[in-house]
């Protein structure tokens, strides 16, 4: 049996219509949406299926919405008894990975991401932030540029997504200054449409409250290996998992290192489970040409059928 990793996307993968055919097909998926709507008191199904995109993209709505679709796709694929060895999730997607690994129940997963979204939204309204993708420079160079500008205001690395695809985060002026410096080094700098400076000190006030909230949630030891965003290493200890999920709010997402870790574990099948194709797109940039890995997306009935036809 080929070694398989399930990967779950986060914010940025959304589109209007996501999850709708799975909702119509599976009772279990409808139950999932009922559950998240009861917890969040938001009409998540309407936002996912009909939009508008502007409302869907607000982080307080988007975090439970993306998670609902991730878990809907996981429910559909898992219903067929598909084998998998390791899970990982990008930022918000890490909570879906924790559910898939048996760490937290679906209900508690929704409680966690809704609280996370509320706190991040609160901080973003109090501290104006920005994020930009820097394309074409290695991580060490970007870190040097960030260090040079840091004395002028809050700016840091948010995501190391691929070898030379790095997202910076922080206050608007320092982020813009790092981007200008990156361009002078030959890089591209692309402003991201976000409502806050995610993974930065600007939302640090959310950490303490989220830490208290997460302490009230029951966590289990993983029954599948799961990789932490903060360390890019496997994590097993329940207290450490909780601590890292709190740290993740303001720490860089080490996605590039996480995918390299999966390759060192000889993963042969990578399955992005949830809306969009962001993670498989990144993997195509990360994976060496001679690496014997196959990439799949499962985000609707058609892609689910294709996955089963090619792997069964």
For residues 114 and 35, the answer to whether their CB atoms sit within 8 Å is: no
Q: Which of 224, 159, 244 is nearest to 194 (CA)?
A: 159
For residues 101 and 226, the answer to whether their CB atoms sit within 8 Å is: yes
Which one of 91, 96, 101, 179 is the catalytic residue? 91
Distance CA 19, CA 45 (A): 9
Which one of 90, 121, 160, 199 is the catalytic residue? 199
- Measure Cα distances from 90 to 9, 174, 189, 216, 277 in Å: 5, 25, 21, 24, 12
The token duo for 288 is: 């060496």
Question: Catalytic: 199?
Answer: yes
For residues 101 and 87, the answer to whether their CB atoms sit within 8 Å is: yes
- In our burial notation (b when 16+ CB lie closer than 10 A, e otherwise), range 232-253 reads beebeeeeebbbbbbebbbbbb
Q: First and final CA of the chain: distance in angstroms?
A: 10
Question: Catalytic: 91?
Answer: yes
Catalytic residue numbers?
91, 199
């Amino acid at each position: 049996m080929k070694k398989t990793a399930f990967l779950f996307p986060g914010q940025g993968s959304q589109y209007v219509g996501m999850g709708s055919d799975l909702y119509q097909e599976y009772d279990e998926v409808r139950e999932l949406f009922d559950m998240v709507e009861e917890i969040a008191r938001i009409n998540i199904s309407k936002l996912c299926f009909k939009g508008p995109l502007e409302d869907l993209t607000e982080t307080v709505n988007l975090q439970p919405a993306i998670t609902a679709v991730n878990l809907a796709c996981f429910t559909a694929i898992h219903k067929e008894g598909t084998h998998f060895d390791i899970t990982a999730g990008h930022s918000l997607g890490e909570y879906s990975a924790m559910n898939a690994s048996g760490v937290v129940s679906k209900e508690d997963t929704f409680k966690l991401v809704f609280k996370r979204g509320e706190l991040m939204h609160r901080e973003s309204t109090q501290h104006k932030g920005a994020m930009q993708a820097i394309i074409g420079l290695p991580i060490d160079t970007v870190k040097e540029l960030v260090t040079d500008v840091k004395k002028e205001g809050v700016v840091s690395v948010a995501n190391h997504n691929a070898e030379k695809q790095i997202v910076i985060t922080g206050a608007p002026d320092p982020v813009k200054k790092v981007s200008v410096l990156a361009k002078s080094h030959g890089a591209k700098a692309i402003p991201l449409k976000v409502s806050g400076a995610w993974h930065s000190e600007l939302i640090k006030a959310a950490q303490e409250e989220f830490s208290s909230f997460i302490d009230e949630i029951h966590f289990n030891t993983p029954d599948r290996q799961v990789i932490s965003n903060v360390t890019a290493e496997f994590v097993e200890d329940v207290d450490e998992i909780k601590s890292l999920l709190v740290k993740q709010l303001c720490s860089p997402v080490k996605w590039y290192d996480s995918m390299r870790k999966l390759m060192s574990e000889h993963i042969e099948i990578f399955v992005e489970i949830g809306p969009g194709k962001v993670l498989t797109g990144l993997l195509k940039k990360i994976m060496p040409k001679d690496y014997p890995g196959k990439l799949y997306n499962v985000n609707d009935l058609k892609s689910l059928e294709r996955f089963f036809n090619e792997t069964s």
